[in-house]
């Protein structure tokens, strides 16, 4: 199942919540009236937030009407960007970075753990708990490779043991803390050496 294909089971209706509608009006103010189409990306983001991390067709239509643009244009934008999900994802949505730096630090092991613990295929919602996982391209945290993103948070410096713990905690719906799993603070160097009188990692 791909997140870029329209899901077969679609909700009938979509409407921004009052809170999001207020946010939407604020977003619209950022653009001149004749260019209000520009708000399509933040609107899609709001819709994804509101609808448990995926965008149904009804939301695209709703946004198209709100911004008076053709349905197909909103659809084009939503299918273009990888971070808009067009099919349901788990409550805990795990994105495993498998680009080169993470891969040489063992991302493939994380992937096989995901297959074992969550679902054999990408983008399938787990039978236990509500998780789904997918491989993604570089998430920009190569310095703490290998890493995964769960919803909005980065879990870094992983190995098999820590990944197992994290995945188990997700299945139990009690997620562990994000951050480095080797005790690093942010991306600070771990072991310091003195080379020529200077500090080096």
Partner 1 sequence: MPKITINGKEIEFKKGMTVLQACELAEVEIPRFCYHEKLSIAGNCRMCLVELEKSPKPIASCAMPATEGMNIKTNTDFVEKARKGVMEFLLANHPLDCPVCDQGGECDLQDQSMYYGVDKSRFVENKRQVKEKYMGPLIKTQMTRCIHCTRCVRFATEVAGVPEIGAIGRGENMEITTYLEKAMESELSANVIDLCPVGALTSKPYAFEARPWELKKTESIDVMDAVGSNIRVDTYNWEVKRILPRLNNDINEEWVSDKTRYSCDGLLKQRLDVPYVKRNNKLQKSTWDEVIPILVEKIKTINPNEIGGHIGDMINLENALGFKKLFSALKIKNLEFRERKFYINSAEKSNYIFNSSIKGIEEADLILLVGTNPRHEATMLNARIRKAFAQKKTPIFSIGNPGDLTYDYTIIGDKTDDIKKILNNETDFSKKLSSSKKPIIIIGESALEIDSGKYIFEGFKNFLKKNNFINKDWNAFNFLPQNASTVGLIDLNIVSKDDEENHTFFEKLNNNQFKLLYLLGSDNLDIKKNNEFIVYQGSHGDRGAEIADIILPSAAFTEQNGLYENLEGRVQECKKASYTIGEALEDWKIFNLILKALGKNQNFLNFSSLRKEVLNSISNFTELNELPFFKESIIKNTSPKFLSETVSIKELDYFFTNAISRASKTMSECRQIRHNSKKTGTDNL
70 binds partner 1 (CB under 8 A): yes
Q: Which stretch binds partner 1 (CB under 8 A): 6-14, 95-103, 111-119, 168-176?
A: 6-14
- Of 70 and 120, the one with the shorter C-beta distance to partner 1 is 70
4 binds partner 1 (CB under 8 A): yes
CA distance 58 to 15: 8
Cβ atoms of 70 and 64 closer than 8 Å: yes
- Binding-site member from 80, 152, 185, 195 for partner 1 (CB under 8 A): 80
Cβ atoms of 122 and 134 closer than 8 Å: yes
CA atoms within 13 A on the CB side of 54: 22
User: In angstroms, how far is the first alpha carbon of the chain from the final one?
Assistant: 43
CA atoms within 13 A on the CB side of 10: 15
- Of 38 and 130, the one with the shorter C-beta distance to partner 1 is 38
Binding string, residues 37-66; x marks residues near partner 1 by CB under 8 A: --------------------xx--x-----
68 binds partner 1 (CB under 8 A): no
User: How far apart are CB 76 and partner 1 at their closest, in Å?
Assistant: 5
71 binds partner 1 (CB under 8 A): yes
Q: Which stretch binds partner 1 (CB under 8 A): 32-40, 67-75, 123-131, 168-176?
A: 67-75
- The pair of structure tokens assigned to 62 is 């709703």
CA distance 2 to 86: 8
134 three-state secondary structure:
strand
CA distance 197 to 174: 46
Angle at 46 between CA 16 and CA 85, to 5 degrees: 115
- State the number of binding residues for partner 1 (CB under 8 A): 16
User: How far apart are CB 37 and partner 1 at their closest, in Å?
Assistant: 12
- Binding-site member from 79, 130, 151, 169 for partner 1 (CB under 8 A): 79
Q: Which residues bind partner 1 (CB under 8 A)?
A: 4, 6, 10, 12, 57-58, 61, 70-73, 75-76, 79-81
């Amino acid at each position: 199942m791909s997140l870029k294909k329209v899901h077969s089971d679609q909700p009938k209706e979509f409407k921004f919540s009052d809170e999001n509608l207020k946010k939407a009006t604020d977003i619209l103010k950022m653009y001149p009236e004749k260019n209000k189409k520009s708000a399509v990306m933040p609107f899609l983001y709001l819709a994804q937030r509101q609808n448990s991390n995926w965008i149904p067709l009804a939301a695209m239509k709703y946004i198209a009407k709100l911004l008076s643009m053709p349905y197909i244009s909103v659809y084009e934008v939503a299918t273009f960007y990888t971070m808009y999900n067009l099919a349901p994802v788990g409550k805990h949505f795990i994105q495993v970075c498998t680009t080169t730096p993470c891969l040489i630090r063992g991302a493939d092991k994380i992937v096989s753990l995901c297959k074992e613990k969550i679902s054999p295929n990408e983008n399938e919602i787990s039978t236990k708990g509500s998780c789904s996982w997918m491989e993604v391209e570089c998430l920009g945290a190569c310095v703490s490779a290998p890493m995964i993103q769960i919803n909005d948070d980065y879990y870094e410096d992983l190995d098999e043991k820590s990944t197992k713990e994290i995945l188990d905690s997700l299945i139990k719906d009690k997620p562990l803390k994000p951050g480095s799993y080797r005790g690093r603070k942010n991306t600070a160097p771990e072991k310091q050496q003195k080379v020529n009188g200077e500090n080096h990692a």
